[in-house]
Structure 1
Amino acid sequence: MQLYNNLSAKEREQLIIDAGQDRLTISFYKYAKIQNPELFRNHLFITWNELDVLGRIYVATEGINAQLSVPADNFEAFKKHLDSIEFLENVRLNIAIEHDNFAFLKLKVKVRNKIVADGLNDDSFDVTDKGIHVDAEKFNELIEDPDTVLVDMRNHYESEIGHFKNAVTPDVDTFRESLDLIEEDLKDHKEDKKLVMYCTGGIRCEKASAYYKHKGFKNVYQLEGGIINYVRQINEKGLDNKFIGKNFVFDQRRSERISDDVIANCHQCGEPADLHTNCANEACHLLFIQCENCKKQMENCCSTQCMEVNRLPIEEQKALRRGQGNSNDIFKKGRADHLAYKKDLRNIFDTIKPKE
């Protein structure tokens, strides 16, 4: 019984090319009690592998978080399988605005302690007592209300390339960091302000809204389906788009363009740019923003040192990496000191200013 990938990314890419079929990029999540995550994981892998599903899926006792791609011809079979699982029947599927047949090149279904690393003790509050879900139309109304504080629940490298107008964008590296910072800065407005949150697909707000209600916030709202679902709704209903820039996504595409605005800058030269890239030096692989000119001059690397290493024969590169593991830069996501125009840390207490 195969419970793992037996093809490399390059081999899988060639199979997708040979198949000549369009694939749909999809994400979904569901909080639910899963008694045996390991058994559930195996069931998903066996079934989805047969349907040629590729992607990154996390399973835990608290539920499932999935980002994947499926051949368009297999979508109905995939949906039928989801509906056969009681807690996933009619689950909301966030279908990408821009599809890429190579968004994912492997099927990875992993058992984790949590489906989102939030660092919270779920036993200390009622995770089912969530905020009010709102659609795109209601969301647009709420964020024009002077008594609303709009908060982006994503990390700095996500909001750096795109966010909603007038949103507070905490300059944090992790979801967990933002939770206490936001609560502290809004502690005097738990009853008189509307706390409206959004994230990529809704999963972070699902937990955050329950956490903030537990902390005493009386008016808590969250954008149903996140940015992905918002964009689909404004396109279908002809609503005003309040999002500027690009939406960061966690697959090979790295982003979807929502508006023509370029609100970020190249981390190397400072020119307007919003394309994330991974340093070509496999021993670094830092995620950062690089314009086309710097990409050409720096050969897709984040520094001259990495460029020199990347020019070495592959065997010499492997010898240098042997026993070293990944550089810590891989986790910095645009904050490495050698990036001249990296996003600087700011004091979140100075950036969150509830409207008077």
Structure 2
Amino acid sequence: MQLYNKLSAKEREALLEEAGEDRLTISFYQYAKIGNPELFRNHLFIAWDELEILGRIYVAHEGINAQLSVPAKKFNAFKGFLDGIYFLKDIRLNIAIEQDLKSFLKLKVKVRSKILADGLNDATFDVTKKGEHVNAEKFNQLISDPNTILVDMRNHYESEIGHFQGAITPDVDTFRDSLDIIEEDLKEHKEDKNLVMYCTGGIRCEKASAYYKHKGFKNVFQLEGGIIEYTRQVRDNELENKFIGKNFVFDHRRAEKISEDVIAQCHQCGKPCDTHVNCANEACHLLFIQCEECAAKMDNCCSDHCKEVNALPYEEQKALRRGKKNSNKIFKKGRSEVLKFKV
């Protein structure tokens, strides 16, 4: 029984390019009570590996969070498989606006304690008692109401390149950081304001809306399907688009362009730019915004030091990395003293 990837990312990339077949980048989530996440994880891996599905999936006792690359010709088989699982039947699937053959290069199904890390240990908090879901049309109406407070539930590096007009964009590194900050900042408006939230695909708002209702907020709303579904409805129904810039996504594409506005700047020279890259130095791998000119000048690195390290023979780079941990530096996406124009 195969429960692991046989091919490396490079081998898979070569096969995808050779095949040249259309693939769909899809995401979905569902909060549900899963008794045996490990068994469910194995069931998913076996079925999706057979369908040549790639992606990153988290399974926990509280549900599933999935981001996938599905062969277009096997979409109906994939949908049929989901419909055969009682809590995933007719689940809303967020299909990316921009498609890419290589959005994911491996199938990773992991068991986690939660499908969304929230830092909460409140046994009285029920994630299923969520706020009201609203579509794009209702969302536009709500955020035009002066009695509404609009909050971006994403992290700083996401909202930096794109967000809804007039939204509060907390300067946070993680979802768990934003929960307490927003509650404190808005505590005077628990009963007299509409609290409207949005995120990439809806999963963070789902948990946040239930959390804020638990904390006493009366009028809680969330954008159904997040920015991904909002964009689709705006285009399909010819609605006014109130999102400016790009939508950050967690696959190899890194972002989808929603409007022509460029609201961010290169972290190295300050030129208008909204292209996220990872530092080419594998010992750093810092995520930051870099324009084409700086990429050429810095050899795709974030600093002169990383440029020097990246120029060394590969074996010397490996020796320098040996025994060192850079997780904190990598985790602090877009935050480094070497980035002169980080807003």
Provide the TM-score with structure 1 as the length reference: 0.95
Say whether the 8 Å CA contact 1:33–1:63 is kept in structure 2: yes
Please state whether the residue corresponding to 1:27 is helix, strand or coil.
strand
Say whether the 8 Å CA contact 1:153–1:204 is kept in structure 2: yes
Please state whether the residue corresponding to 2:293 is helix, strand or coil.
helix
Q: 2: CA distance between counterparts of 1:229 and 1:190?
A: 28
Offset at residue 323 of structure 1 (A): 1.7
Amino acid at match of 1:81: F
Offset at residue 328 of structure 1 (A): 2.9
What corresponds to 1:12 in structure 2? 12
Amino acid at match of 2:294: C
Q: 2: CA distance between counterparts of 1:327 and 1:36?
A: 30
What corresponds to 1:141 in structure 2? 141
Offset at residue 327 of structure 1 (A): 5.2
Q: Note the 1:63-78 alignment, pairs <5 A.
A: 63-78=63-78
What corresponds to 2:261 in structure 1? 261
What corresponds to 2:126 in structure 1? 126
What corresponds to 1:157 in structure 2? 157
Please state whether the residue corresponding to 1:163 is helix, strand or coil.
strand
Please state whether the residue corresponding to 2:330 is helix, strand or coil.
helix
* 2:309 is aligned with 1:305: no
Offset at residue 119 of structure 1 (A): 0.9
Please state whether the residue corresponding to 1:86 is helix, strand or coil.
coil
Offset at residue 315 of structure 1 (A): 1.1
What corresponds to 1:92 in structure 2? 92
| Number of aligned residue pairs | 343
Please state whether the residue corresponding to 2:87 is helix, strand or coil.
helix
What corresponds to 1:339 in structure 2? 339
* Counterparts in 2 of 1:304 and 1:296: CA distance versus 1, 3 Å: same
Amino acid at match of 1:84: G
CA RMSD of aligned residues (A): 0.8
Offset at residue 332 of structure 1 (A): 1.2
Offset at residue 108 of structure 1 (A): 0.3
Output one character per residue of 1:179-214: Cα deviation in whole Å (capped at 9) or x when no partner. 111111111111110000000000001011111111
Q: Note the 1:24-103 alignment, pairs <5 A.
A: 24-103=24-103
Q: 2: CA distance between counterparts of 1:195 and 1:267?
A: 32
Output one character per residue of 1:145-164: Cα deviation in whole Å (capped at 9) or x when no partner. 00000000000000000000
Q: 2: CA distance between counterparts of 1:135 and 1:240?
A: 13
Amino acid at match of 1:267: H
Please state whether the residue corresponding to 2:137 is helix, strand or coil.
helix
Offset at residue 122 of structure 1 (A): 4.8
Say whether the 8 Å CA contact 1:29–1:65 is kept in structure 2: yes
Amino acid at match of 1:182: I
* Counterparts in 2 of 1:46 and 1:122: CA distance versus 1, 3 Å: farther
Offset at residue 304 of structure 1 (A): 0.6
What corresponds to 1:224 in structure 2? 224
Structure 1: tracts of 5 or more residues without a match: 344-356
Structure 2: tracts of 5 or more residues without a match: none
Output one character per residue of 1:70-102: Cα deviation in whole Å (capped at 9) or x when no partner. 110111111110111110000000000000100
Output one character per residue of 1:119-152: Cα deviation in whole Å (capped at 9) or x when no partner. 1125222222110100000000000000000000
Amino acid at match of 2:84: S
Please state whether the residue corresponding to 1:18 is helix, strand or coil.
helix
What corresponds to 1:348 in structure 2? none
Offset at residue 308 of structure 1 (A): 0.6
What corresponds to 2:170 in structure 1? 170
Identity %: 76
Offset at residue 324 of structure 1 (A): 1.6
Q: 1: CA distance between counterparts of 2:249 and 2:169?
A: 17
Please state whether the residue corresponding to 1:70 is helix, strand or coil.
strand
Please state whether the residue corresponding to 1:250 is helix, strand or coil.
coil
Say whether the 8 Å CA contact 1:283–1:327 is kept in structure 2: no
* Counterparts in 2 of 1:298 and 1:327: CA distance versus 1, 3 Å: farther
Q: 1: CA distance between counterparts of 2:122 and 2:69?
A: 31
Offset at residue 325 of structure 1 (A): 3.3
Please state whether the residue corresponding to 1:87 is helix, strand or coil.
coil
Q: 1: CA distance between counterparts of 2:326 and 2:6?
A: 24
Amino acid at match of 1:68: L
Offset at residue 326 of structure 1 (A): 3.1
Provide the TM-score with structure 2 as the length reference: 0.99
What corresponds to 2:283 in structure 1? 283
Q: 2: CA distance between counterparts of 1:145 and 1:20?
A: 47
Please state whether the residue corresponding to 1:288 is helix, strand or coil.
strand
Amino acid at match of 1:39: L
* 2:243 is aligned with 1:243: yes
What corresponds to 1:111 in structure 2? 111
Q: 1: CA distance between counterparts of 2:3 and 2:128?
A: 33
Amino acid at match of 2:212: Y
Amino acid at match of 1:328: N
Say whether the 8 Å CA contact 1:23–1:70 is kept in structure 2: yes
